[in-house]
Structure 1
Amino acid sequence: MSSKDYYPMETKGSPKSYSPHKNGNLMDKSSSEQTEKFLPVIEPGLDSLNKNPEDVDFIPVDHTPPDRYRLVFFIMVVHGIGILMPWNMLINAKQYFEEYKLGKNETEVVELKGKFMFYLGIFSQVPNFVMSGINTFCQCGGQASPRRIIISISIMIVVFITTVILAMVDSSDWSVEFFWITMMTAVILNMATGVYQNSTFGLAAILPMKYTNAIVLGTNFSGVFIAVINIICIISAPDPRTQAIYYFVCAIAVLLIAFDAYFLLPLTKFYQHHRAMVRRQQNTSGPSRSFQETCALFGQVLKKIWVQALCVWFIFFVTLTIFPGIWSNVTKKDFPIENKYWTAIFCFLSFNVFAFLGNIVSEWKKIPGPRFVWIPVLLRGLFIPFFLFCRFEVENKVRTFPILIDNDYVYIVGGVLLAFTSGYYSSLTMMYGPKLVEPEVAGIAGMIMAFCLVMGITTGVNFSLAVASMAIQ
């Protein structure tokens, strides 16, 4: 029996796809609900290993295969953990960088130490933003490139191995040089992260909404995991150098697991089914789109999801304006806890735990819907002045206006609300966006949403430095 019998290219009532050549509409959606009986299996491997449909096996798609043992869901969670592992590792190693590596009492070193977290945010997120943008708009066929995921993870692993070596080296005589080496390390790590994050959201967008949320869930669990490791290291390994080595070795281990998970994903029937449906719709769309048609398609997708895209940008803009630059420099007044645990627990752990809980709650409660989600998102902007009026202080700097919120408990509650709403509304908007467009361009919508997420982070960390400069001198 020929492949033609399994894979009819033209059948009456077969679903239409995006075609730039019909009626001048790039997004002409068929009203027909008839489904093809057989679709090609998508084999695992790099882009260059894709075979001709005439040479591959075929799988029935009369019904969607189950995600057995929720394997695909947990693979996406693992990728979410891997995506934010570099960022979480660097910011949680605050004590290692500021007190151990930059502890030298010299004017230039002290100045760099005071702005370390702000510089780290900028040198991390600006490259992340640039690479995410390139990866979004430089796609072959409008889909995320799996090959880029593998290359990105490999680069991240190599850089972390280098970081462990630097932790073992005595850099006390070249602290300033170490500072800038660290910044360059952050640049390389987050360039790779931008591609990794963007491509992963593009892959998840062709799946049901909860699989996009699985990535967001993983990113926040990554923060919880590292924050807990941070506290354990403070208790059991008081030497910041030893703590840092533990951090970075953990990052390498997690990234190796994510590396393996990439090759496992295409082997699952659940992912094969959804990927095959998208491939079939793309194959029936006619000749390849020109550059102008591709740009127009991106514009039409953005037109449908712009509210969600703007929301996800603003959520992360507000969050990253405050965390970690401003939040990690809020001091306690009389809360019964040692100073060395204050920031570790009521900044890094608190933020990541409650953001993680916000992600989980979004699995069951989706309030408000896509139409009105912008209202609570906009109200989150009030958190910026709230944290500035808390006990935000930087060593050797003077506040330019008085402290109005001088109560540790009010500050803690404010932090919980910021973190929870960050996790909850980021999950909602990231899930809503790709589902407002047709399945064959959900991958494009997912990459646009991820790009706006990174843009929110980038603008937030830059605005954080500007706000801090006004608040302290």
Structure 2
Amino acid sequence: MNSQAMELSSSLIIPPHRNLYPKPYDSMNLLYIIMLLHGIGMLIPWNVFINANSYFVDYKLNPNVTGTHEYKENFISYLGVISQLPNVILMALNLFVQFGSSTKNINPKAYQTQPRIPISIIINVMMCIVTVILAILDTSTWPKAFFILTMITAAITNSAAGIYQSSIFGLAGSLPMKYTNGVIIGNNVCGTLFAVVYILAIYASPNLRLSAIWYFISAQFVLLACFDSYFALPLLKFYRYHLRTLVKSEQTDGDVQDTSRKYKLNDYYSVFTKIWIQCFGVFFCVFVTFTIYPTLLVKIEKKDPNFFISDKYFQAIIIFLNYNFFSLVGNLVTEKFKKPGPKSVWLPILMRVFFIPLFLFCNYHPDIRKVPVLIKYDFVYAMLSILLAASHGYFLSLTMMYAPSLVEPRMAQLAGMMATLFMIIGLLCGLNFALLVSKLF
């Protein structure tokens, strides 16, 4: 071979560091928007029920109608436990039982993450329809049956949402870190959005019944949008690129031998040892928040009759809108600022425990409380609510983003699902602990 031919040949050799298929980018942030939308959809069942607290306790379960205070006083507590207990169980099954989740022989261009995601969305849509029907019916002569049906509906829809939530966080865990935060931002957009929708429904409707009907119908439209957007995922080059990366990683490591089970028992132990600080952080952050919100907050009453927010909107704005909006702000801050690091993030999260006595010293259950009210100004109570929400959003985003980033790419989905399970366990424990704390005051 002459020198010219050799020179030409060498110029055609692709250096080993070059990539024949360069990494695509997220065009128009479509994948990020879809992840954010699913972040909204996964928390619709929970937010729809708790934001409509006044519809349930002041209209459907009003003591003047039911003849008992039992349903009104314990509605939020019962709702939390009944909703989240099956949620935890099914999410744990979703974590450990990975049927059909093997990536062996997958064609990434036709890949859909899990059939469990659209099935979960369909179940939620059906339960929303049941809730609308119950709102339309006159249930004044059968309040106990209405209460039981509502709890059954909440249990079913939140159980489906648990599987939906775990699957989406697992999917986001295999993508860059910001997509996990996009899901969490969507969670708080959901709360903020439906708090605003409920306030508008109260304002525009002549009664709580009609406002609730429009409110529940709006939730169905958002869920249907989530259902449609899910099937757009394989059309996105950016999504397919990361799927191929995940498939290649698993096939290279030789871990795709059993098509009915994606992870080995040793994988769970290995991942947990790397992210246990984040799991604790997620758990305790949510535990403190849901000890207070919404169980204790809904029983804190306005003290100053001249406060600029009227009684009609006080709960909807100060509790639900305020919490969800500033939690969203906390989420967004982590897009630019990520401190402290993975090893020390647990310390400020632990300090949030002081929020619990502070809120109990507000005007909590003024008629039956055993200790005096020390925080007597509604403005101070509102500021405490802002701090609770913002710190929750910030630290939850931080820990949920850290978890998948601390393990190798093929384990990122498992880390995301594991952190999500600890989040739901923290929620359930917080709601139950609120019942104990309330007895002390």
Q: TM-score, normalised by structure 1?
A: 0.84
1:85 is matched with which residue: 33, 44, 63? 44
Q: How far did residue 163 of structure 1 move? A: 0.9
What is the distance in 2 between the residues matched to 1:220 and 1:78?
11
Match of 2:166 among 198, 213, 231: 198
Provide the residue aligned with 2:430 in structure 1.
Answer: 460
- Write out per-residue CA displacement over residues 266-306 of structure 1, whole angstroms, 9 at most, x where no aligned residue: 21000100011111111223364677971111110010000
Q: Which amino acid aligns with 2:224?
A: L
Matched, 1:318 2:277: no
One-letter code of the match for 1:64? K
Q: Report Cα offsets for 1:205-252 as digits up to 9, x if no partner.
A: 011100000000000000110111111122111311111111110110
Maintained 8 Å contact 1:104/1:172: no
1:218 to 158, 171, 186: 186
Residues in 2 aligned to 1:408 and 1:311: alpha-carbon distance in whole angstroms: 30
Q: Is the 8 A contact 1:142 1:443 kept in 2?
A: no
Aligned to 2:94: 135
Task: Supply the distance in 2 between the matched residues of 1:322 and 1:211 (Cα, whole angstroms).
Answer: 28
- From 307, 325, 333, give the equivalent of 2:303: 333
Residue 315 of structure 1 contacts residue 425 of structure 1 at CA under 8 Å; is this kept in 2?
Answer: yes
Q: Where do residues 150-299 of structure 1 align in structure 2 (5 Å cutoff)?
A: 150-286=118-254, 288=256, 294-299=264-269
Q: Would you say the 8 A contact 1:212–1:430 is kept in 2?
A: yes
Q: What secondary structure, in the 3-state scheme, does the structure 1 residue paired with 2:232 have?
A: helix
| Counterpart contact for 1:216–1:359, Cα < 8 Å | yes
Whole-angstrom CA distance in 1 between matches of 2:216 and 2:79: 16
Corresponding position of 1:402: 372
Alpha carbons of structure 1 residues 74 and 178: separation in structure 2 relative to 1, 3 Å: same
Offset of 1:469 from its aligned partner? Answer: 2.9
* 1:437 and 2:407 are equivalent in the alignment: yes
Q: What is the aligned length?
A: 413
- Aligned equivalents of 2:18 and 2:268: distance in 1? 27
Structure 1 gap segments, 5+ residues each: 1-33, 38-59
Question: Retained in 2: the 8 A contact 1:312–1:456?
Answer: yes
Matched residue of 1:238: which SS? coil
Match of 2:23 in 1: 64
Question: Cα 1:402–1:289, aligned 2, differ >3 Å: closer, same or farther?
Answer: farther
The one-letter code matched in structure 2 to 1:245 is: I
- Tell me which amino acid in the other structure corresponds to 1:114: E
Q: Please list the CA deviations of residues 95-128 of structure 1 after superposition, one character each: whole Å capped at 9, or x if unmatched.
A: 1111111124377632111111111111111121
Q: Which SS does the other structure have where 1:115 is aligned?
A: helix
Deviation, structure 1 residue 470? 3.0
Q: Give the drift of 1:336.
A: 2.9
Amino acid at match of 2:414: I
Separation in 1 of the partners of 2:53 and 2:118?
29
Equivalent residue number for residue 125 of structure 1: 84
Who is 2:320 aligned against? 348
Whether the aligned pair in 1 keeps the contact of 2:289 and 2:388 (CA below 8 Å) is yes
Give the C-alpha shift of residue 400 in structure 1.
2.2
Q: Which runs of 5+ in 2 are unaligned?
A: 1-15, 104-111
Distance verdict in 2 for CA 1:259–1:83, change over 3 Å: same
CA 1:164 to 1:292, structure 2 compared with 1: closer, same or farther past 3 Å?
closer
Please give the alpha-carbon distance, in whole angstroms, between the structure 1 residues aligned to 2:282 and 2:119: 27
Match of 1:390 in 2: 362
RMSD: 1.9
Residue-by-residue CA offset, 1:164-216 (whole Å, 9 max, x unaligned)? 11111000000111011101111001100100000000001011100000000
**Structure 1 letter corresponding to 2:352:** R
Identity of aligned residues (%): 45
Which residue number corresponds to residue 451 of structure 1?
421
Aligned residue for 2:225, secondary structure, equals helix
User: d(CA) in 1 for partners of 2:35 and 2:18?
Assistant: 28
Pick closer, same or farther for the CA change 1:464–1:292 going to 2, 3 Å. Answer: same
Q: 1:467 Cα shift? A: 1.4
Q: In structure 1, the residue corresponding to 2:397 is in which secondary structure?
A: helix
Q: Report the 3-state secondary structure (helix = DSSP H, G, I; strand = E; otherwise coil) of the residue aligned with 1:311.
A: helix
Please tell me the residue identity of whatever aligns with 2:324: N
Q: Write out per-residue CA displacement over residues 11-60 of structure 1, whole angstroms, 9 at most, x where no aligned residue.
A: xxxxxxxxxxxxxxxxxxxxxxx7896xxxxxxxxxxxxxxxxxxxxxx5
Displacement after TM superposition at 1:412 (Å): 1.0
Q: 1:75, 1:293 → 2: CA distance? A: 27
* Aligned twin of 2:381: 411
Alignment map for 1:90-129 (pairs within 5 Å): 90-105=49-64, 109-129=68-88
Give the 4+ runs in structure 1 shifted more than 2 A: 34-37, 104-109, 140-145, 284-293
Paired with 1:110 and 1:454, the residues of 2 have a C-alpha distance of 29
Counterpart residue type for residue 284 of structure 2:
F
| Conservation of the 8 A alpha-carbon contact between 1:221 and 1:352 | yes
2: CA distance, partners of 1:179 / 1:252: 22
Find the partner of 1:421 among 384, 391, 402: 391
Aligned to 2:12: none
Tell me if the contact between 2:283 and 2:423 (Cα under 8 Å) persists in the aligned partners: yes
CA distance, structure 2, for counterparts of residue 109 and residue 243 of structure 1? 24
For 1:355 and 1:145, locate their aligned partners in 2 and report how far apart those are by CA, in whole Å: 29
